[in-house]
Amino acid sequence: MNFNEIKAMDYKYQMNTYAKYDAALLSGNNAVITGEDGREYIDFSSGIGVVSIGFGNDEWAHAVGAQAKQLQHTSNLYYNQPSAMFSKELCEKSGFSKVFLCNSGAEANECAIKLARKYSFDKYGRGRDKIISLYNSFHGRTMAALTATGQEEFHQFFFPFNQGFDYMQANDADSLNDILNADDICAVIIELIQGEGGVCPLDTQYVKTLFNICKKRDILLIVDEVQTGAGRTGYLYLSEYYGIEPNILTSAKGLGNGLPIGACLCDEKLKDVFTPGTHGTTFGANPVVCAGARVVLSHIDESLLKDVREKGEYIRSKLYGIDEVKSVRGMGLMIGIELKTMTSKDAAQAAFKNGLLILTAKSLLRMLPPLTISYEEIDTGLSILKQSLK
């Protein structure tokens, strides 16, 4: 099939939820993608922060292929070794006590919301069920995660939204005591860097104050690390850098290197809140996904994390040499680029035409390349970007 045939078929049979670029992607090698027409692209997007250890990673592909051949699925009525091993490794590496495995970031956040509400119900009874999130946040597209998402533009069409949610302004430490004084709040959910909101980092002092108030009032702190986690910012989880220990941490995207995974991690006090039948999902803890995720996790060691921090610095310094770049923010390989005159959409479209895949986040360009991107791939990508921003 040629590109136009693929496009026409996609358009006819898939619901029209995405604004797609004019390319069908065929194969990949680390941070280089080849289209159906043989065109090569440097990939600064990694499928929106997903392909963490690169396209065509042999070790990952072998683990996934071997497990697919041996046993591709078990229901959660039985045990399987890859998911038991992965859970142990993820908990030990992250310092959390237990994990619930699911299939996406939104689903991990749904789990976090249910876990927080059940903890509060078990301990305090009905009426202490409110979840507070931040304006400008993004937590996913399912109804509860969408309700928690504090952006008006996502809150259209889909009324009525779920009860028991409220919003507060990010980085306003002075208002925290008053807001969190209400006795109906069971949890606060935050992203440490608001990714979809425009790569906006939270202030460290604000996050520490929030953490301390939550701890004092037994309000659970949920940190959504779906985008910032799994090594993306140069730390396994960014909570470590911020010096906080959330009660619940959600992870997804880069943990699977391309296979669907979500993880809701919890601390010691929450580890026995769920009991059989209170939560579940058919595909969660899938052995093929977990076999691949074990490889991902084994790659996220101190040396890779140091690399991510250094490559991030390198990219930032080079970006400031491009005339059209006004400012750069983010951490590690999660980078937002504010432009002087071009819109982010026009800039991303121009980059695409020149052979670079790059994301947008509101008015910013956003880079989430594979964590394994080479300096050569970075240089090629940046020179395409420079040429596109004229």
Residues at the contact surface with ligand PLP, assessed by CB under 6 A: 104-106, 109, 138-140, 191, 195-196, 224, 226-227, 252
In whole angstroms, how large is the CA radius of gyration of the chain? 21
H or E stretch covering 366: strand 364-367
Q: Which is nearer to ligand PLP, 31 or 226 (CB)?
A: 226
Cα-to-chain-centroid distance, residue 20: 20
Would you give the end-to-end CA distance of the chain in angstroms? 35
Q: Which is nearer to ligand PLP, 325 or 359 (CB)?
A: 359
Structure tokens at 179: 């807001």
Q: Is there a contact between 278 and 42 (Cβ–Cβ < 8 Å)?
A: no
What lies within 8 Å, CB to CB, of 222 at 6+ separation is 109, 112, 113, 116, 187, 188, 189, 190, 246, 247, 248, 249, 250
What lies within 8 Å, CB to CB, of 2 at 6+ separation is 36, 37
Q: How far is the CB of 204 from ligand PLP (least distance, A)?
A: 19
Distance of alpha carbon 238 from alpha carbon 225, whole angstroms: 7
Q: Which is nearer to ligand PLP, 368 or 389 (CB)?
A: 368
Residue nearest to ligand PLP (CB): 105
Q: Which is nearer to ligand PLP, 142 or 383 (CB)?
A: 142
H or E stretch covering 186: strand 185-190
Question: What's the burial of 157, exposed, middle or buried (CB within 10 Å: 0-12/13-18/19+)?
Answer: exposed
Q: Which is nearer to ligand PLP, 48 or 342 (CB)?
A: 48
Distance of alpha carbon 34 from alpha carbon 24, whole angstroms: 9
Give the full edge-to-edge strand order of the sheet including 248-251: 98-102, 262-266, 248-251, 220-224, 185-190, 130-134, 165-168
Q: Which is nearer to ligand PLP, 130 or 139 (CB)?
A: 139
Q: Which is nearer to ligand PLP, 259 or 385 (CB)?
A: 259
